[in-house]
């Protein structure tokens, strides 16, 4: 009988700790450690819609012109040719076009930093160009 009292308290306490952990991860390093968790959770269909609505609401508060441009471009679909991209941009108002191009430029200017292996590969010293055939020995083989 005593466990009936403790079960809801344990469940609520666990949910409170998880919520606090999510808030903490969102604050540390600009949400860097929260992003992989959100990406994993967004594979669940109803959470994906929830995250999309939350993102759109935040974008609407922060930059209404960009949010309007994004809605119009989503209705138009993903352009497959440069002409289709021009038609999609032509449907935007000048303010929406300016906000969209500014956001696209900011996204292109800040590439994702490579991981350790990619950084090592970039900084590795390139070997000098050698013979085209690899694996051959330096000595000539004698005919027998």
The whole-number pLDDT of residue 130 equals 56
Mean pLDDT value of segment 114-137: 64
Element at 107 (helix H, strand E): helix 94-109
pLDDT for 88 equals 87
Please state, in angstroms and rounded to a whole number, the distance separating the CA atoms of residues 11 and 7.
6
Q: What is the pLDDT of residue 120?
A: 73
Run of H or E residues at 53:
helix 45-62
What pTM was computed for the model? 0.54
Which is higher by pLDDT, 59 or 140? 59
Given a cut of 80, is residue 118 above it in pLDDT? no
**Tokens read off for 104:** 């696209």
At residue 13, the pLDDT reads 95
- Per-residue burial over 53-63, b if 16 or more Cβ lie within 10 Å, else e, is eeeeeebeeeb
Question: Residue 107 pLDDT more than 80?
Answer: no
């Amino acid at each position: 009988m005593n466990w009936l009292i403790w079960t809801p308290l344990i469940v609520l306490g666990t949910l409170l700790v998880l919520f606090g952990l999510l808030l903490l991860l969102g604050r540390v390093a600009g949400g860097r450690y929260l992003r992989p968790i959100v990406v994993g959770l967004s594979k669940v269909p109803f959470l994906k819609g929830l995250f999309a609505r939350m993102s759109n609401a935040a974008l609407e508060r922060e930059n209404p012109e960009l949010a309007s441009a994004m809605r119009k471009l989503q209705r138009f679909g993903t352009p497959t040719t440069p002409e289709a991209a021009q038609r999609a941009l032509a449907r935007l108002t000048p303010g929406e076009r300016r906000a969209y191009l500014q956001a696209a430029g900011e996204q292109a200017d800040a590439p994702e930093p490579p991981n350790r292996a990619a950084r090592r590969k970039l900084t590795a010293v390139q070997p000098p160009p050698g013979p085209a055939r690899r694996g051959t020995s330096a000595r000539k083989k004698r005919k027998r």
